[in-house]
Amino acid sequence: MLTADLLAVVASVVLVAAVVFSPAAAVRPLAVAVGLPFVLIVPGYALVSAVFPRAGEAAVGPISGTSWLARLGLSIIGSVVAVAVVSGVLDFTVWGFGRTPVMVGLCWSTLVTTAVAWYRRRRLPMAVQAGTTAGNVGTRLGEIIGSNLTGVLLTLVVVVAAAGAIGVVANESTDTGTVTEFYILGQNESGQLVAANYPSNLTAGEPVTVGVGVGTTRESGFEGRVVAAIERVTLDGETTRITESQPLGSFDVQVSAGERTLRRHTVQPSLLGERLRLTYRLYKSGADTPHRRVQIWVSVTQS
């Protein structure tokens, strides 16, 4: 079975996880050098491999290099789609839209699609499988470059455009990279704050306590304000519109470089309804737009 490319995908996930989710992530050039190529190509390649397990399916043509070049182009497009989908899904979860949750989501989705690709590929005769062996990697690269130089140049243009698109996501997620963590914690039976037991069914006027955490990079600290609200939202096409909102208080935060702070916050919502959004927004001092946002979905009923 031709699996060298899929093994390379798994190895790249392990490498990215080892760098991004460790103290090595503080070394920005290393994090970018490892993370950017991964985000640009690997999730999309795993997706393309799952959809097209047979050689030659990604492009019609007599030259194998054309098919591999088409796979590369589709991989870049697929990666942009994967980043957008993972980011959109996370925006409706308790983790919210941030660099770390997005990378975790990309790693897991890549492993899942790689498993699907492996399963679909192994059901085909080896002669028509889309993969390659470790010894043929250099040959495949030579075929791609030698057979269609114009196509390679156009693919590089797509890479640059995709890097810009993903850079927008990274900028939205990190916003100068000062805050690396902004999260909500639930409360267990003993009153400890944990990443579970999030409140979901609330009673109007009755207090409920959550934990709100803020963490910074090693380069700089953060000073600002956390603002809480419970919101009724509607989905208008691809836009989430706030139709009703109740402020639930705010508090100042000041975090030193490389440190984190965790604060308990008690709210008493009176806005009634199902699938309301309990939202916390983090503002930099003097800023009118939020630096980061996290949310959990709750229902509020009358007592």
What is the token pair recorded at 130? 């889309």
What is the reported pTM?
0.51
Domain range for 254 is: 179-301
189, 98: one domain:
no
Q: String of b and e for 172-188 (b: at least 16 CB within 10 Å)?
A: ebbbebbbbbbbbbbbe
62, 93: one domain:
yes
73, 220: one domain:
no
144, 194: one domain:
no
Sign of CA dihedral 32, 36, 38, 43: positive
Backbone φ and ψ of 217, nearest 5°: -80, 175
168, 197: one domain:
no
75, 184: one domain:
no
Q: What is the distance between the alpha carbons of residues 214 and 228, in angstroms, rounded to a whole number?
A: 14
Per-residue pLDDT of the chain (303 residues; tens, 9 = 90+): 567 788 889 999 999 988 887 877 777 788 888 888 898 889 999 998 888 888 765 544 444 444 666 777 788 888 888 888 888 787 666 566 667 788 888 999 999 999 999 998 888 887 777 766 655 555 555 554 455 545 444 555 555 554 554 454 444 444 444 566 889 999 888 888 988 889 999 999 899 999 999 988 656 788 999 999 999 998 776 678 899 999 999 999 998 887 889 999 999 999 999 999 999 999 998 889 898 899 999 999 997
Per residue in 37-85, pLDDT tens? 898 889 999 998 888 888 765 544 444 444 666 777 788 888 888 888 8
Angle at 258 between CA 257 and CA 261, to 5 degrees: 90
168, 194: one domain:
no
Specify the pLDDT at position 126: 78
Angle at 103 between CA 102 and CA 109, to 5 degrees: 85
157, 225: one domain:
no
Return the number of other C-beta atoms located less than 10 Å from residue 218's C-beta.
12
9, 103: one domain:
yes
The closest of 188, 217, 181, 169 to 294, measured between CA atoms, is 181
Q: Which CATH number covers residue 195?
A: 2.60.40.10
261, 115: one domain:
no
The number of folded domains in the chain is 2
Per residue in 177-214, pLDDT tens? 456 688 999 988 888 898 888 999 999 989 999 999 99
